[in-house]
Structure 1
Amino acid sequence: MSFLAPPPPTRARARGFTLIELMVTIAIVAILAAIAAPSFTGMIERWRVRQAAEELQSTQYYARSEAIKRSGGITIEAANGWGSGWSVKHTLGGTTTELQTTPAPKKIGVTQTNNTFYVDRWGMVATTANGAATKVEFIVYPEGKGDSSPNASRLCAGQGGRIQILPLSQNCT
């Protein structure tokens, strides 16, 4: 038998967060998010511009492949301006068939002076039917910002058929 007294009961340390700690953490995260939110606007605009430029690029690749497959007769046409969408059509013997329609990208503007492009049987783009291959350039920009916006992109289809997306600061070659 021991004459020593048993040690006093110890209280186990509580684990987790108190409500006050949780509320302070949430408040700090909310303040940081509010400070960072305006910087997301430019990023979202760049994503939209990139997506629209890639859709135009994809349409041009599709039109080229169809022109080679069908021995020409392919047109890429704007629907009431390039900012309203575009379509790929095939004309044979006076009959026109719509092959693909792309709706207007949301919150995006597109600048291009010609509303119709012709793709010959070799996949080269011209501004007139049976015309010589020519360089085609689109400017894709955030709606309301204009085609000189720093978030704008340039889509170039060179005379040799190379299609590329460039920053606005670079010229088509």
Structure 2
Amino acid sequence: MRGFTAIELMVTVAILAVLASLAAPSFTPVIERWRVRSAVEGLQSTIYYARSEAIKRGGGVVIQKNPNTAQCTTSANQEWDCGWFVCEDVNNDGVCNATEPVLQRFDTPSQVNVTRTSGGATIILNRWGLVDGAWLGFSLVPFNKSTSDLAARGVCMSIGGRLRVIPPQDIPCSASNS
């Protein structure tokens, strides 16, 4: 008869388990970079979408952070960790009310801290697709890490509406890197 004995199979599985447990921690930075990159791309996509909707609708578009839920809680208006959504601000009060149509929603990947550098819980876009109020700056960082972490990124929007993704050493956004 040909084949493996139970002992040979158990030794092979044990060796694979040891190798996998040694390799797993080295994947953590890769996973953190992927999560931050996913959040950065989602934020950029949302801003581009909201800008185009604001131009199309003649203003009246707001990007707002998601409210706290049982799964995600933030304590400050600058913390956008739970994600965000775009709505049509029908009554032009600068916030998304429950009766106003939601145009797009983005839930941030888990284990990513998203902090708005200036401003609060909403971003109002005018009829030209530009931010009405404080300029945009976001820091996206792996959970419990600082902005100096290699996976961290910043998303900056210039006064003219150009978006840039900046590396950790340039966080937070300033007039020179917007």
With the length of structure 2 as denominator, give the TM-score of the two structures. 0.72
Aligned-residue offset at 1:138:
0.8
Residue 119 (structure 1) aligned to one of 125, 128, 132: 125
Letter aligned with residue 151 of structure 2: N
User: Alignment identity in percent?
Assistant: 46
Aligned-residue offset at 1:152:
1.1
Letter aligned with residue 108 of structure 1: V
Larger gyration radius, structure 1 or structure 2 = 1
Greater strand share, 1 or 2?
1
Instruction: Please tell me whether residue 60 in structure 1 is matched to residue 47 in structure 2.
Output: yes
Superposed, which structure 2 residues align to 1:15-94 within 5 Å? 15-79=2-66, 80=77, 81-92=79-90, 94=92
User: Taking structure 1 as reference, are residues 25 and 94 closer, same or farther at Cα in structure 2, changes over 3 Å only?
Assistant: closer
Give the whole-Å Cα distance in 2 for the aligned partners of 1:52 and 1:106.
10
Superposed, which structure 2 residues align to 1:144-155 within 5 Å? 144-155=144-155
Give the whole-Å Cα distance in 1 for the aligned partners of 2:56 and 2:138.
25
Letter aligned with residue 161 of structure 1: G
Aligned-residue offset at 1:64:
0.8
Give the whole-Å Cα distance in 2 for the aligned partners of 1:20 and 1:118.
66
Question: Residue 119 of structure 1 contacts residue 125 of structure 1 at CA under 8 Å; is this kept in 2?
Answer: yes
With the length of structure 1 as denominator, give the TM-score of the two structures. 0.73
Residue 110 (structure 2) aligned to one of 80, 95, 106: 106
Aligned-residue offset at 1:94:
4.3
Q: Supply the RMSD in Å over aligned alpha carbons.
A: 2.5
Give the whole-Å Cα distance in 1 for the aligned partners of 2:129 and 2:92.
21
How many residues are aligned here?
Answer: 154
